[in-house]
């Protein structure tokens, strides 16, 4: 259903307030207008583009929580985190992430997103990857959004390491899985807390 401009912009603003992670394409479909119309509406309303909105939400909500690395060093944008429990980040695959001939994402970007999320979820001043077991399930292409979900599955193994499992999805399709054994400074070699 078409709306007049004023009504559409009011609803657009409300929609973005409810879900700052909604894309211009999704908004265009929701309001039955072109992506260009959505961009012009956002510009008139002084609403930043998606990437900037995500960064603002992350800065406001999570920058003070992270202990193991600064938020700007996380590959992708953190959209949810509970230290020593779980975390979620998103990475939009752009031209700089893909091979120029095939438009397929380079694997190190998917690994970096998952690895930095595994580091970020650790509630410690120092968290380093001791070991990683990874598997690429399918190729990720230019324009796709990768949602990485990290879950701490074992806070302390026999070596005092924290095990973090990260699964990455495009839409709801699994594209990458990794299990990261994380060294953290607040465990001794025997696994006792200092």
Looking at the structure, do residues 28 and 99 belong to the same domain, yes or no? no
Beta strands in the chain (DSSP E): 77-82, 86-92, 127-136, 145-154, 162-170, 173-184
The verdict on residue 66 lying in a domain is: yes
- CATH at residue 40: 1.10.10.10
Least confident of 85-94, 133-142, 148-157: 148-157
Per-residue b or e along 150-185, where b marks 16 or more CB atoms closer than 10 Å to that residue's CB: bbbeebeeeebbbbbbbbbebeeeebbebbbbbbbe
Phi, psi torsion values for 140, nearest 5 degrees: -110, 140
Looking at the structure, do residues 36 and 70 belong to the same domain, yes or no? no
Token pair for 179: 């299990």
The domain in which residue 103 lies consists of: 61-184
Give residue-wise pLDDT tens across range 94-106. 999 999 999 999 9
* Number of domains comprising the chain: 2
Looking at the structure, do residues 40 and 119 belong to the same domain, yes or no? no
Looking at the structure, do residues 156 and 69 belong to the same domain, yes or no? yes
Looking at the structure, do residues 40 and 110 belong to the same domain, yes or no? no
Looking at the structure, do residues 41 and 69 belong to the same domain, yes or no? no
Give residue-wise pLDDT tens across range 149-191. 999 998 776 677 899 999 999 999 999 999 999 998 765 444 4
Looking at the structure, do residues 39 and 78 belong to the same domain, yes or no? no
Looking at the structure, do residues 108 and 19 belong to the same domain, yes or no? no
Least confident of 8-22, 56-70, 144-158, 161-175: 56-70
**Cβ contact 98:55 at 8 Å:** no
The verdict on residue 192 lying in a domain is: no
The verdict on residue 189 lying in a domain is: no
């Amino acid at each position: 259903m078409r709306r007049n401009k004023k009504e559409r912009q009011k609803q657009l603003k409300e929609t973005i307030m409810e879900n700052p992670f909604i894309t211009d394409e999704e908004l265009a479909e929701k309001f039955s207008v072109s992506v260009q119309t959505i961009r012009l509406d956002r510009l008139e309303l002084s609403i930043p583009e998606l990437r900037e909105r995500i960064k603002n939400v992350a800065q406001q909500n999570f920058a003070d929580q992270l202990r193991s690395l600064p938020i700007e060093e996380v590959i992708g944008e953190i959209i949810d985190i509970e230290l020593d429990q779980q975390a979620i980040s998103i990475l939009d695959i752009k031209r700089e992430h893909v091979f120029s001939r095939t438009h397929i994402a380079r694997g190190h970007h998917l690994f970096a997103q998952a690895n930095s999320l595994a580091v970020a979820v650790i509630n410690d001043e120092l968290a380093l990857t001791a070991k990683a077991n990874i598997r690429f399930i399918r190729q990720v292409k230019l324009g796709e959004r990768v949602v990485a979900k990290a879950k701490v599955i074992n806070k302390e193994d026999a070596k005092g390491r924290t095990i973090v499992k990260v699964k990455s999805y495009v839409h709801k399709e699994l594209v990458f899985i990794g299990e990261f054994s994380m060294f953290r400074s607040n465990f001794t070699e025997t696994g006792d807390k200092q």
